[in-house]
Amino acid sequence: MTQDELKQKVAHAALKYIKDVPVIGVGTGSTVKYFINYLAEMKANIDGTVSSSEATTALLKQAGIPVLDLNNVGTIEVYVDGADEITPHKQLIKGGGAALTREKIIAAASKKFVCIADGSKRVDVLGKFPLPIEVIPMARSYVAREMVKLGGQPVWRENCVTDNGNQIIDVHNLTILEPIKMEQAINNITGVVAVGIFAMRPADVVLVSDGEEIVTF
C-alpha cells in the first residue's frame, strides 16, 4: 500500500471513536484530511467541530461541517489528530504543520485524544524529527540560544507565520529520552508559546496503519 492509502485506511479506522459524539476536535495534516473527507459523509450526525488550524477550518467549511469556537463548547469528547513521531508510550512530536499551539489547547480540553498515523511515524525515542517550537517573534534568537544549551541545533523556519502570528524554530539533533522533563524545560523558556512535545498530555489511543492491518495501542 502507498503512504496515502495507509493514511486513508487509518483515518477510516478512527470513525468508530466518534460514533454518537456531537462535537469533535479535528487536527491538522495530511492524514487528518482523509478523516475530514469521512466526516463529510456523516455530517448529518455531527453538531459541529473544533478546529486546530485555519487550514483545517477551511477544509471543514468546504465540506459543509460546522466549526465552533472552543470557548463556547467547553470540554470536547474526542479529538482526532496525526503526529510526526509516536513512541510506544503514546508520547508524540507534533507541529510539522505549524499548528502545535492550537493542537495542544484542543488536546488539553479533550477527554479522549485519538492519534492516527501511518507506520513510518513510530519511533522508540523522540527527536529524529526536528522538534517544532512556536515562539514570540522577538524571542526567536533568545529561545534558539537556550535550545543550544539543551543540546539541540535550532533552525528558524523561514517564511512561516503561525495562525497566532508567531514564528517556528525547528530543533535538530535532539535525543529526547525524558519527554516530560524536556517539555517542561522548554515550556519554562521565556518567549516560548508552545513546544511540539506531547508528553504531559499524550494521546489516549494511537491507531497506526502498518501494511494491511491497523495496530492500536
List, by residue number, the catalytic residues. 103
Cα separation of 148 and 144, whole Å? Answer: 6
* CA torsion through residues 195, 197, 28, 71, sign: negative
Cα separation of 175 and 24, whole Å? Answer: 33
3-state helix/strand/coil string of 67-130: ECCHHHHCCEEEEEECCCEECCCCCEECCCCCCHHHHHHHHHCEEEEEEEEEHHHECCCECCCC
Do residues 197 and 123 touch, judged by C-beta distance below 8 A?
no
For residue 84, what is its C-alpha cell?
510526526
Q: How many residues appear in the chain?
A: 217
In one-letter notation, the amino acid at residue 191 is: G
Do residues 130 and 166 touch, judged by C-beta distance below 8 A?
no
